[in-house]
Structure 1
Amino acid sequence: MNEIKKRIFVAGHNGMVGSAIVRQLSKVENIEIITRSRKELDLTNQQAVLEFFKVENIAQVYLAAAKVGGIVANSTYPADFIYENLMIQCNIIHSAHLANIQQLLFLGSSCIYPKLAEQPMAENALLTGTLEETNEPYAVAKIAGIKLCESYNRQYGRDYRSVMPTNLYGAHDNFHPENSHVIPALIRRFHEAKLNNDKEVVAWGSGKAMREFLYVDDMAAASIHVMELDKEIYDENTEPMLSHINVGTGVDCTIHELVETVAKVVGFKGQINFDISKPDGAPRKLMNVERLKSLGWESSVNLESGLTLSYQWFLKNQNKFRG
């Protein structure tokens, strides 16, 4: 008799994080990965999401679906970012509950923490100060997602967990010239400058801001690790009103150092200048990852290795990013 496979829904499977989770889960036996494209299932449509969960017999949910972008995108489309992310989260979490799905993992963001939070940022820094202005709508939506999970756990006894990744990068990233995060934007800019034999590349900001970066396959591995933790162990290391877990490397660098490393990986030999009229964002964003380490997981891909893998993926898929 064939063993019944555990059906796992990965929301956002075409995105950078969701696709990495699918890659990792594909290595596990006795599970069936369930995915739906945006055309097949509009996650902002409450009725459609509820009907999906009621008929699909899902055992676990990875909520990796989100509208994401860098400083420019967040500043330009604040209404889109708060509305779409709130709708996606509310629909999936509530519908999962109504369908009696006990296990769910919500993926948030390090931007949930105050702009001037003590470094490195521990989980208990949440809601202790003012958020960074440029991505406040997105951050508010992600905070709401954490509190949704906590509230369903408290009221209904669900096992809905949350992980807060630091800045992610890797395969299936968004390399759009205006709406991407810093690493894919730099990879594309340096690559095109190299092809054009440009003598100079201009980077945004002063270069002094410090950031932490995590390769996306590490994030996927951490997500599965947290999802599969015994509930007693998870509960012992979290609190009902502080249940999220930071995911990162615990190591940061200046944007200046990042820019130089990307240039090295891509092979750009020209001049690098910084446009100090552009915003730096928060001065520093480093995650305290001691809680995750105590639960038995640490990152394994260093920055230069991860950037090399990202650039290799970009080269294989660059036709997708023309224009």
Structure 2
Amino acid sequence: MKKRMVKKFLFLTIAGIINAIGVTMFLAPMNLYDSGISGTSILFSQITPPFYSLSMFLIILNVPLFLYGLKKKGSLFTFSAIYTVLIYSLVAFLINDVLPIDVSFASPLAGQDLLLCAMFGGLISGIGSGLAIRSGGAMDGIEVLSVIFAKKIGISVGIFVMIYNIILYVICGIILDNWILPLYSIVAYTVALRAVDFLVEGIDRSKAAMIIVDTEHTKNICSVLSKEFENGITILDGKGFYSGDRKEVIYLVLNRFQITRMKEIVCEIDRNAYITITEIADVFSK
């Protein structure tokens, strides 16, 4: 347990550092906006006196939201999320105000190229956010807001976050009287979203196959599939609703390269087999 917790907070620390690099070295110097509370913090830091820094707004806006969601998300998640945001804020402060890195008017690595800053800023901050989520924390309090309020107003969590970001980018465009930067921010948001998906769910998600067959074919199909793929297979009892005939359901998890061969094997043995395939994000097995 102790080793797991050390590993957890090590990865949360790395996540906070990565996210800070993406935001402070690519997005913020070019007045591009991250998504959620992070993007809101960037906007506030731009329209308020210099004393109110990005790091300050990250803490002021995020920490109360995580504490507000304490009952719904649990103490471990809340502490992990606050810890990650503090690391993010600390590294952002170091980059902006302590280290000899000039991020006042351009990215130290991508210059003033808006597309490069949007793409790499989104990619790097997305990797940080995805690593935080995968490690049991969070980088942004918008997740808490979405969990609490999305269901109350009858929309999904994803839609809630998307609406929040659209409103944020529209407000940024109105305040700045410039729509180019908000549009590039949408590019950054899209890239970040894909990076989060990659970190959280993996680039090649597994496929779960459920094969409904007549009982006389079950043993033969399972034998061939087991020999072909060397995978575990589960057999479930089933019954046709209209026919009342007894069926058996074969359940197994494959990768995408094995799906076509699985279909061929099943159809060769039972032409009447009914196959459904669903994508799954994670597989846990010893």
TM interval, short-chain normalised: under 0.3
Is the helix fraction higher in 1 or 2? Answer: 2
**Which is higher, the Rg of structure 1 or of structure 2?**
2
Compare the two structures and name the one with the higher strand fraction. Answer: 1
